[in-house]
Chains A and B, each alone.
Chain A
Amino acid sequence: MMNLLASFIPAQASHFAADIDRLYFFLIGVSMFFTILIGMLVIYFVIRFRRRSDDERPAPTKDIVALEIGWTIIPLVLVIIMFVWGAALFYKQWRPPADAMEILVTGKKWMWKMQHPSGRSEINDLTVPVGRPIRLTMTSEDVIHSFFVPAFRTKADVVPGRYTSSWFLPTEKGSFHLFCAEYCGAEHSLMKGWVHVVSEEEYEAWARGDDTDVAMLTPVEAGQRLFNELGCVVCHNPASGAMGPHLAGLFGSEVRLNTGRSVIADEEYIRESILEPMAKITEGYQPIMPTYKGQVSETQVMHLIAYIRSLSEE
């Protein structure tokens, strides 16, 4: 039974997920009752009162005021119940508890950036401890996005020029989808990631940065990992619609710019393109890449360059 149910609702991983599903099932119950009632009545009447001869003249029916009042009052009572129930739950979804941990979220085309109180930040991943209330304070750098985690039943628009917030209390460990739910342009459907709910201890260790085993990786491997984590792959992946130039074969080649000039793609050029993307725009592409200045260390830039260079060596 639970398995069957699970194929119709997403995982219940926050403290109000089950509350919302209960209201949902109440509404489904009411809807099914009325749909079946109307459907059965229509089918019954169509059969019972079918036209038996071409000149059949049914006797007129008088309007019945009591019926009109009845089917005004009954739906009215039902919708008031639905309103009160839905609004009460929404009130709970709207007001975070005072002790909630604040995580800062920035949306931009087409990635999510999260900044934790410990200073550690993530892109397209959100790591949170189970059982602790989390409040997201969010804004956008460009257009409107929407932070949607189906397993938590939370969604809030992320609006440029103002701060919006959303909160939840994760109750289940695991990884859950994070989607951008407000259409935001070409790669809207790639603006997604995962919310990782981990134990309190794992979170603390993660927030301190204990898990960074970058030292164990080769520069190319570390670069590749960053390439995915930072969301570079969204635009620079040949399969994803190529909002940005392809990087295979780039290193050492001559790049034509929109100014008509050309440059050789060396380490200097790639570093500049990551930190100051507007400085040189490749011919045929839009100036849409966000800057990574202040988000990646010089070591990380070198790792990225090593990875991009490796793409030309295969």
Chain B
Amino acid sequence: MNDTSPPKRTHYLNAQHTVGSWLFTLDHKRIGLLYLATILLFFLLGGIAAMLFRVELMTPDPTYMESETYNRLFTMHGITMIFFFLIPSIPAVLGNFLLPLMLGTKDLAFPRLNLASWYVFTFGGLLGLGSIIFGGVDTGWTFYTPYSSTYANSNVILAALGIFIAGFGSIMTGINFIVTIHKMRAPGLTWFRLPLFIWAHYATSIIIVLGTPVIAITILLVAIERLFQIGIFDPALGGDPVLFQHLFWFYSHPAVYIMILPGMGVISEIIACFSRKRIFGYKVVALSSLAIAILGFFVWGHHMFVSSQSMYAGMIFSILSFLVAIPSAIKVFNWTATLYGGAIKLDTPMLYALGFIGLFTVGGLTGLFLASMAINVHVHDTYFVVAHFHYVMVGGMVMAFFGGLHFWWPKMTGRHFSELFGRIGAVTIFIGFNLTFFPQFIVGYLGMPRRYHVYPEEFQFLQVMSTGGSAVLALGYLVMAGYLLHSLVLGKKASSNPWRAVGLEWTTPSPPPTENFTTEPYVDYEAYDYTREEVYRDDADEVKGA
């Protein structure tokens, strides 16, 4: 239309075009996108596995597959979703992309370590993928011994090695984040001016650095027992199978917080922006992340109330597990209070954030049932547990991840997605999620154990409901994939600050230039200061004619 359109702006996406410029990039933003592509592949694989066994579970007897196939599918679902999707999802994608932008710096402290982390993670992921291609693993994602160390006739070593190696990628990212947050904040950006996203990532990084080595050691011990018949966990060789559970959950319970804390950070950003309010009780919310990170290390025994653990040990773990619910509750109350007196707009990211509050509340409250010893005895290893952790992991973490992806999509890609389809997708996912997982609370309390291929007929009705819901959920994700891909090519161009949000990342153009900021930012205001005029500056000119 206009021949005198301004020359094309150079930004991190179009600065270089070669494949090499992506594979050897040291730019945290490009590395974030590499992670995004990698983990979405695993999300797709894990999702396909889930759909296959959900279809199988529509009938109480074997219909489409044998038990050995069923067992491999739920194991594949668990391993890919937890180790190769959820754990890296927000930190490695959004954290990588946003940490330097939010801190007002050029890059992470160690750009080469950051790129190395992606290679290490991807190599681990490929080994995990290899274990599936060469016949699968049938131990469940929990790898309980002595089944995994002695009895399973499947690719345990390959999958375990994949998780072991991917863990080092996590540790590298964690160290990078801690150093960057400590040393590279823009002038004026004091600790209590930091966005809560940063606080959440700081807490997460501490857990990653302290916890991940323990799972690495544990996996190594399983491999040693399996390969060299050295007795560690198998009583037939003089080992102790319950020891494995202590070591495993010492990492894997804190890992739940590795998954959920960054999600909570995302939710704080979104709620502040779409209600134009400072997060209510900012300091309390920030410090509650640290409280969760610390307390989270002392609750692992609630996975083991019926494992033959001593009753008194169980009581200690029970009370500590109840206590870790308090900082989570505080966050939910503060988010709700933030809405009070705001100027609330229900754009797609906000729909995800409000969905998160509802689903995480249910997930958190049902955690109290599991912390309660007497009820835990009944519902342990049933569908009740499956429903509970999906409410936290999918209702919480995945909703937060996609909420965040939508919120920062214009920043990352320079394009807007279709708001209409965005809202349709968010609502479909919310409904589909509840239809899938709510019936599982009931079928769990009725007594149906998890990981059951064949089950008594009286549970069929609820299982069919769950499968129906999962189809709706899958449809929601497909809608999302459709409009997001569409927006990459045909989406409306985005200005620097399309949502009118506070935060340094919104002061630089979308997509940002390779060096992030052309002038060094200076911060002389509190986080989420929505009274500042600069936030509401009309920046529509930026994208005119582009």
Whether, in the assembled complex, A186 has its beta carbon less than 8 Å from a beta carbon of chain B, the answer is: yes
How far is B369's CA from A182's CA once the two chains are assembled, in angstroms? Answer: 19
Task: Kindly identify, within residues 31 to 46 of chain A, every residue whose CB is under 8 Å from any CB belonging to chain B.
Answer: 31, 34-35, 38-39, 41-42, 45-46
With known contacts A41-B336, A160-B235, A183-B140, A24–B445 Cβ distance under 8 A:
yes
With known contacts A38-B332, A89-B373, A155-B381, A189–B452 Cβ distance under 8 A:
yes
With known contacts A8-B445, A83-B319, A286-B153, A35–B362 Cβ distance under 8 A:
yes
Chain B 124-149, CB-CB to A under 8 Å as 1, else 0, gives: 00000000000000111010101100
How far is B315's CA from A150's CA once the two chains are assembled, in angstroms? Answer: 23
Q: Determine the chain A residues whose CB is within 8 A of the CB of B382 once the complex forms.
A: 181
Chain A 146-163, CB-CB to B under 8 Å as 1, else 0, gives: 101011011111011110
Is B339's CB under 8 angstroms from A162's CB? no
Whether, in the assembled complex, A61 has its beta carbon less than 8 Å from a beta carbon of chain B, the answer is: yes
Report the stretch among B31-39, B186-194, B262-270, B342-350 that lies at the interface: B342-350
A27: contacting residue among B275, B319, B369, CB under 8 A: B369
Whether, in the assembled complex, B478 has its beta carbon less than 8 Å from a beta carbon of chain A, the answer is: no
Whether, in the assembled complex, A292 has its beta carbon less than 8 Å from a beta carbon of chain B, the answer is: no
Is B314's CB under 8 angstroms from A90's CB? yes
Q: Determine the chain B residues whose CB is within 8 A of the CB of A59 once the complex forms.
A: 341
> Chain B nearest CB: distance from A236 CB in Å?
14
Q: Determine the chain A residues whose CB is within 8 A of the CB of B377 once the complex forms.
A: 20, 90, 93, 153-155
Least CB separation from B360: chain A residue? A38
With known contacts A31-B365, A87-B373, A186–B68 Cβ distance under 8 A:
yes
Task: Kindly identify, within residues 8 to 53 of chain B, every residue whose CB is under 8 Å from any CB belonging to chain A.
Answer: none
Whether, in the assembled complex, A120 has its beta carbon less than 8 Å from a beta carbon of chain B, the answer is: no
Q: Determine the chain B residues whose CB is within 8 A of the CB of A186 once the complex forms.
A: 67-68, 71, 138
> Chain A nearest CB: distance from B63 CB in Å?
11
> Chain A nearest CB: distance from B107 CB in Å?
33
Task: Kindly identify, within residues 363 to 401 of chain B, every residue whose CB is under 8 Å from any CB belonging to chain A.
Answer: 365-366, 368-369, 371-378, 380-382
Is B341's CB under 8 angstroms from A42's CB? no
Least CB separation from B538: chain A residue? A55
Count residues on chain A whose CB falls below 8 Å from chain B CBs: 86
Whether, in the assembled complex, B64 has its beta carbon less than 8 Å from a beta carbon of chain A, the answer is: no
Whether, in the assembled complex, B424 has its beta carbon less than 8 Å from a beta carbon of chain A, the answer is: no
How far is B342's CA from A159's CA once the two chains are assembled, in angstroms? Answer: 56
How far is B454's CA from A140's CA once the two chains are assembled, in angstroms? Answer: 22
A60: contacting residue among B68, B278, B445, CB under 8 A: B278
Report the stretch among B79-87, B159-167, B321-329 that lies at the interface: B321-329
Is A150's CB under 8 angstroms from B446's CB? yes
Is B365's CB under 8 angstroms from A8's CB? no
Is B357's CB under 8 angstroms from A58's CB? no
Is A20's CB under 8 angstroms from B374's CB? yes
> Chain A nearest CB: distance from B343 CB in Å?
4
> Chain B nearest CB: distance from A11 CB in Å?
9
With known contacts A164-B308, A183-B140, A51–B343 Cβ distance under 8 A:
yes
Whether, in the assembled complex, B277 has its beta carbon less than 8 Å from a beta carbon of chain A, the answer is: yes
With known contacts A24-B445, A76-B326, A179-B447, A86–B280 Cβ distance under 8 A:
no
Task: Kindly identify, within residues 428 to 482 of chain B, every residue whose CB is under 8 Å from any CB belonging to chain A.
Answer: 442, 445-447, 449-456
Whether, in the assembled complex, A239 has its beta carbon less than 8 Å from a beta carbon of chain B, the answer is: yes
> Chain B nearest CB: distance from A33 CB in Å?
10
Least CB separation from B529: chain A residue? A60
B308: contacting residue among A10, A80, A159, CB under 8 A: A159
Chain B 209-250, CB-CB to A under 8 Å as 1, else 0, gives: 000000000000000000000000011100011100000000
Whether, in the assembled complex, A256 has its beta carbon less than 8 Å from a beta carbon of chain B, the answer is: no
Whether, in the assembled complex, A52 has its beta carbon less than 8 Å from a beta carbon of chain B, the answer is: yes
> Chain B nearest CB: distance from A229 CB in Å?
19
How far is B452's CA from A70's CA once the two chains are assembled, in angstroms? Answer: 44
Is B68's CB under 8 angstroms from A241's CB? yes
Task: Kindly identify, within residues 277 to 311 of chain B, every residue whose CB is under 8 Å from any CB belonging to chain A.
Answer: 277-278, 280-284, 305-308, 311
Task: Kindly identify, within residues 45 to 100 of chain A, every residue whose CB is under 8 Å from any CB belonging to chain B.
Answer: 45-46, 49-52, 55-61, 63, 67-68, 71-72, 75-76, 79-80, 82-83, 85-91, 93-94
Least CB separation from A63: chain B residue? B281
With known contacts A159-B307, A160-B236, A79–B325 Cβ distance under 8 A:
yes
Is A75's CB under 8 angstroms from B329's CB? yes
How far is B147's CA from A16's CA once the two chains are assembled, in angstroms? Answer: 32
Q: Determine the chain B residues whose CB is within 8 A of the CB of A151 once the complex forms.
A: 447
Q: Determine the chain B residues whose CB is within 8 A of the CB of A161 once the complex forms.
A: 235-236, 240-241
How far is B449's CA from A3's CA once the two chains are assembled, in angstroms? Answer: 23
Is A24's CB under 8 angstroms from B375's CB? yes
Task: Kindly identify, within residues 60 to 76 of chain B, every residue whose CB is under 8 Å from any CB belonging to chain A.
Answer: 61-62, 66-68, 71
How far is B342's CA from A58's CA once the two chains are assembled, in angstroms? Answer: 6
Is A89's CB under 8 angstroms from B374's CB? yes
Is A63's CB under 8 angstroms from B308's CB? no
A57: contacting residue among B276, B333, B334, B362, CB under 8 A: B276
Q: Determine the chain B residues whose CB is within 8 A of the CB of A184 once the complex forms.
A: 147
Is B340's CB under 8 angstroms from A61's CB? yes
> Chain A nearest CB: distance from B361 CB in Å?
5
How far is B318's CA from A90's CA once the two chains are assembled, in angstroms? Answer: 11
Q: Determine the chain A residues whose CB is within 8 A of the CB of B276 once the complex forms.
A: 51, 56-58
B453: contacting residue among A50, A55, A71, A189, CB under 8 A: A189
How far is B369's CA from A85's CA once the two chains are assembled, in angstroms? Answer: 12
Q: Determine the chain B residues whose CB is within 8 A of the CB of A182 once the complex forms.
A: 144, 381
B456: contacting residue among A57, A177, A188, CB under 8 A: A177
Least CB separation from A147: chain B residue? B306
With known contacts A23-B372, A89-B374, A94–B66 Cβ distance under 8 A:
no
Whether, in the assembled complex, A262 has its beta carbon less than 8 Å from a beta carbon of chain B, the answer is: no
Can you list 5 A-B contacts with CB-CB less than 8 angstroms, sorted by A residue number?
Answer: A30-B368, A155-B377, A159-B241, A159-B307, A164-B308
Known: A150-B378, A186-B67. 15 other contacts (CB 8 A): A20-B378, A27-B365, A45-B344, A51-B343, A52-B343, A58-B343, A61-B341, A86-B376, A143-B150, A160-B235, A181-B449, A183-B140, A188-B71, A188-B451, A240-B454
Q: A-contacting residues of B (Cβ < 8 Å)?
A: 61-62, 66-68, 71, 138-140, 142, 144, 146-147, 150-153, 234-236, 240-242, 275-278, 280-284, 305-308, 311, 314-315, 318-319, 322-323, 325-326, 329-330, 332-334, 336-337, 339-346, 354, 357-358, 361-362, 365-366, 368-369, 371-378, 380-382, 442, 445-447, 449-456, 530-531, 536
The 9 tightest CB contacts between A and B, nearest first, are A161-B235, A150-B447, A86-B372, A89-B374, A90-B373, A45-B339, A79-B322, A189-B452, A31-B365
Q: B-contacting residues of A (Cβ < 8 Å)?
A: 8-10, 16, 19-20, 23-24, 27, 30-31, 34-35, 38-39, 41-42, 45-46, 49-52, 55-61, 63, 67-68, 71-72, 75-76, 79-80, 82-83, 85-91, 93-94, 109, 142-144, 146, 148, 150-151, 153-157, 159-162, 164, 177, 179-190, 239-242, 286
